[in-house]
Amino acid sequence: MIGQQKLRNKIDSYTLSTFPHSILLIGDRGSEKEEICDYISDKFDLSKYDITELISEEYINEIYSMPSLGLYIIDGTKITEREQNVILKFYEEPNAYMYIILTCESKYNILETIQTRSYEFTMDLYTRDELLPLCIKDAELELSLANTPGTIEELNYVDLDSLKMLCDTILNKLEVASYQNTLTIANKVNFKDEYDKYPLWAFMRMLSLVMLERKSHLYWYLLDFMKKYEPLLDKKRFFEHLLTEMWIGVKNGHQTA
């Protein structure tokens, strides 16, 4: 694990009897939230179960019927509001044997009823010195795109030169592209286990860098999207909405450069 000493010190200040049963663990993409969960599991000798893909009323009731200590992990970026309502039992009817950690990148897509019943643990920001040893390509460019160990490591598998060229081409061609051709940009992006395509977050950050360099007025469309997209489950549809707004913006005279 890289860094996170402040958070580890906070965890070390607890005993099992004082440790919160419900935690909202907040951290950017790639910020080693899983490693923090492992740290908690090891410190308190708790068996760890990732139940993100198993959420149902029947399964939650089954967990309640097992009187054994356990640490239950749920990835809040992968569950719907309906599933959040299902796990409310964890929070409304606390069980002395159960500890739950709901991980997320932003708490604003988490139900308020869960937020108010959870202790917030926030991942520390990573320093340049902590991330620099992970860079294996263009360190300055990598650090301008990524801010966590996980995202730096993802960039190891991305052709950054080709990605930048694609972003330049998009801005060069957007003024003459048809609407249908504009929507095909989404085919270059990985929305779900399409690892031969560009990660959405990397594409968005590279495009924002290119827009800023060129002082493109379209940057404000992109900035608004980047504030909203992380909590969304249907990112492809929302991304296509962004492309639509950019295309209309160009047709209405907003400059790409």
pLDDT, tens only, 52-94: 999 999 998 888 887 778 999 999 988 888 999 999 888 888 7
Q: What is the pLDDT of residue 233?
A: 61
Report how far residue 109's alpha carbon sits from residue 28's, in angstroms, rounded to the nearest whole number: 14
Q: What is the mean pLDDT of residues 218-223?
A: 81
More confident: 98 or 256 = 98
- Provide the β-strand partners of residue 75: 103
Task: Please check whether residue 51 lies inside any domain of the structure.
Answer: yes
Mean pLDDT of the chain: 88
Give the residue numbers spanning the domain of 25: 5-125
Q: What is the pLDDT of residue 112?
A: 92
Report how far residue 234's alpha carbon sits from residue 51's, in angstroms, rounded to the nearest whole number: 21
- pLDDT bin (cut points 50, 70, 90) of residue 238 is confident
- pLDDT bin (cut points 50, 70, 90) of residue 232 is low
Q: Are residues 161 and 120 in the same domain?
A: no
Q: Are residues 92 and 166 in the same domain?
A: no
CATH number at residue 104: 3.40.50.300
Task: Please check whether residue 224 lies inside any domain of the structure.
Answer: yes
Residue 219 near residue 146, CB atoms below 8 Å: no
Q: Are residues 121 and 189 in the same domain?
A: no
Q: What is the pLDDT of residue 228?
A: 65
- pLDDT bin (cut points 50, 70, 90) of residue 176 is confident
